[in-house]
Structure 1
Amino acid sequence: QYGPVIDAVNISVVPEVSTWAMLIAGFSLVGLTSRRRNRAAVAA
């Protein structure tokens, strides 16, 4: 029943550079947004 779906998934052992770049960029964006919200709350 799930055979074709599971067989179609390719898993790479080492993530590609673009994957790491997007991951780091995403976490940085979340961190900067959180920091801005905290500073705005303290200033208000």
Structure 2
Amino acid sequence: RAAILDFLQHELKSDQLDYQSKDLETALRRTVHLILSAPEYQLG
């Protein structure tokens, strides 16, 4: 969990969500991709 939060904070360049930011969607999409790519979310 900490690694995911660190990744998102790095993508956002902040520790808060700025809903007006044009980069918010990209950062959230990359974070969701990271989560769903984790082995525990893979079909087996």
Higher normalized helix content (fraction of residues): 1
Which is bigger in relative contact order (C-alpha 8 A, separation at least 6)? 2
Looking at CA atoms only, which structure, 1 or 2, has the larger radius of gyration? 1
Q: TM-score, normalised by structure 2?
A: 0.41
Q: TM-score, normalised by structure 1?
A: 0.41
